[in-house]
Amino acid sequence: MLPTPKKFTLVTGTGRGESRLNAFDRALLQAGIGNLNLIKVSSILPPGSDLVEHLEIPPGSLTPVAYGALISDEEGGMIAASIAVGISENDYGLIMEFSGKCSRQEAEARALAMVREGFSVRGLKLKASQVKAVEEKVQGHTCVFAGAVLWY
């Protein structure tokens, strides 16, 4: 059994590359998590988790991340990704991610709306929320990435 993470941070990045994978890799590097092995997780923020500015994680670590990403090669289009967290009064929280062909502002609004809906469905009271987003105009293979990195 894995331990429950106690810290999290929100990261974003963009990248371009000769291939879709290289664009994704560059977005992860810009986000500061390009040297980690990401384990994609769903949308529950563990109870009592602390938001921190930066996490010190050894390269190669298996790292839980909830994320949204989009890779496009449709020249000139705008793409965006966002990550939002909702924190409850005394319980667990929610992480919602979004990516699409839109502006950063629209991506932020969509992720926050999903947090509010997720809290409503669960009957939880939303105490606070945080959101982080990024947008990029597509040139070649372009990736946008937004994630919530969980750590111990």
32: Cα within 13 Å, side-chain hemisphere: 13
Residue with tokens 């990261």: 11
- Whether 17 and 29 have beta carbons less than 8 Å apart is answered as no
Catalytic residue among 18, 42, 53, 56: 42
Catalytic residue among 43, 61, 88, 103: 43
- Indicate if 42 belongs to the active site: yes
Residue with tokens 């990024």: 134
Helix (H, G, I), strand (E, B) or coil at 92: coil
Catalytic residue among 19, 35, 37, 120: 37
- Indicate if 97 belongs to the active site: yes
Catalytic residue among 49, 72, 82, 97: 97
Nearest alpha carbon to residue 28 among 46, 15, 10:
15
- Indicate if 43 belongs to the active site: yes
The two structure tokens encoding residue 53: 């500015």
- Indicate if 120 belongs to the active site: no
Which residues are the active-site residues?
A: 37, 42-43, 97
